[in-house]
Structure 1
Amino acid sequence: MKKIFVSLFLLLAFGLGQQAFSFENITTIDETSDKQIEAIEPETNIAPLQAEISFDWLTLDQTQREENIEKYKKLLFENNSSHIYFSKEDFKKEFAKYYKDKDFKLHYMLTNNGVTEDEDAKYCAFYFKKGTLVMYAIQYKNNPTNAFYYSAFGKLYYTDLMSKEYPNYPYTSMQYDRKGQLKSAIYFITKDIQYMFDPDKEFQGIWYKDKMYDKNGKQTLTRNNW
């Protein structure tokens, strides 16, 4: 089974009622077996701002599509106006203090008992279907553009970084693993439209609602929970 990990911020754009920690079923994570994971879905009252933009990917000619891809690639990587594109070394320096959750026993207890928010942070728990907590996510209220995913023992798995515009559109999102390796980069134009790039800066596709299209306008994927 192919291993995938879904960014909680990406799930926000999937139309899940703007629930701040609303995750779809995740197939697996590193160092866990290939079983389906269930998640708790707390609520938020965020009402993001966005412009009305039509989806014209299928009507553009190939040159226009390539120009759009290059435009958003530059915005994400070359311009780095969001200041969330890091080298491995810079990422480790910037986020070293998050590599181990010093309060993991408390956070494990909270998330395992269904607590989704306190005065300091919002939480989400990931369970195997048998009810074993395998991972939890933390979004600190004093730093809401970052989310950290930890094992049940407080080891950092992944970090989601959002540009300062979040939750308003457009904004950018990048996900890194513990080693500071970029795993994905996304440019959120609106809730419905996102350009996705891989760690090598290669275009993966454009999402429009529940469908992804490649650079040639061919549908390649669909997503649930739209």
Structure 2
Amino acid sequence: MKKLVLSLFILSIMLLPQQVKAVENITSLDDVEQPINTISETTETQPIHAKVSFDWLDISQAQRDTNIDYYKKLLFDENSSNIYFSKEQFQTQFAKYFKDKDFKHHYFLTNNRVTEDEDAKYCAFYFKKNTLVMYAIQYKNNPTNAFYYSAYGKLYYTDVMSKEYPNFPYTSMQYDKKGQLKSAIYFASKDLQYMYGPEKEFQGIWYKDKMYDKNGKQTITRSNW
């Protein structure tokens, strides 16, 4: 089953209780409990995982800086994944998703804890466990994009994954509703990711449940990876 990875940006700003599972503990739509009232189950090819070793704490500072610059150029300067958009490019390419025309239907599904049907995978975000404030959709005919909507169907954020997804390595970038970049991630493997912010600044490297800064100091942890 292809996974919808919720970005660190979403996890950091939406610290809202989730009726199925706390949102800060969700890194994928596959992490929530088994869906209710789903139409069908599908069998999909398992993602290809790259073998990557973690040596961030062992290499020199010069080598860490070299790695940071390498992935920064890969994500932004070279735009090798072709998902780094200007505001104008984003607004042109994703204009039809700015409003969820079926928001009443999707609200009904997500508010009733449906996490998958024949068309898409879903994730709901709740305030105080019972008020749905945002839902995410990953359409099965467009699996490299995930759209986050308000309860009234207005687009909040868009996650754009490179064509390699769900195989590793791949890249992911998140944009707000105006097409402003919010975060960029290079997924070297399931366990290892390089994180960059909206100004292309290095935010840290994730290895499993721990994030380390540019100097090799552990900064934060996460529940799932």
TM-score band, normalised by the shorter chain? Answer: 0.7 to 0.9
Give the CA deviation at 1:120. 1.4
Q: SS state of the match for residue 51, structure 2? A: coil
Aligned to 1:154: 153
Residues 16 and 125 of structure 2 are in contact (CA less than 8 Å); yes or no, is this contact kept in structure 1?
Answer: no
> Structure 1 residues 219, 179: CA separation in 2 closer, same or farther (over 3 Å shift)?
same
Q: Per the alignment, in what secondary structure is the counterpart of residue 37 of structure 1? A: coil
Measured against aligned partners, the alpha-carbon deviations of 1:3-59 in whole angstroms (never above 9, x if no partner) come to xxxxx5146xx9xxxxxxxxx9x5644xxxxx6231542568663212222100111
Alignment of structure 1 residues 37-56 onto 2, 5 Å: 37-38=17-18, 40=20, 41=32, 47-56=46-55
Q: How many residue pairs align between the two structures?
A: 202
- Structure 1 equivalent of residue 165 of structure 2: 166
Distance 1:84 1:99 in 2: 18
2:93 and 2:19 mapped to 1: Cα distance? 29
* 1:17 equivalent in structure 2: none
Given that 1:133 and 1:152 are in contact with CA atoms closer than 8 Å, whether structure 2 keeps it comes out as yes
Q: CA deviation at 1:222?
A: 1.3
Q: Which runs of 5+ in 1 are unaligned?
A: 1-7, 15-23, 30-34
Letter in 2 for 1:36: L
* Map of 2:110 onto structure 1: 111
**Percent identity between the two aligned chains:** 72
AA aligned to 1:37 is: P
Distance 2:5 2:206 in 1: 14
CA distance in 2, matches of 1:204, 1:103: 36
Q: How far apart, in 2, do the equivalents of 1:180 and 1:154 lie?
A: 17
Aligned to 1:83: 82
- What is the rounded CA distance, in whole Å, between the counterparts of 1:196 and 1:28 in structure 2? 16
Cα RMSD of the aligned pairs, angstroms, is 2.1
Q: Distance in 2 between matches of 1:109 and 1:100?
A: 16
Deviates more, 1:37-46 or 1:143-152: 37-46
SS in 2 for 1:116: coil
State TM-score, norm by structure 1.
0.83
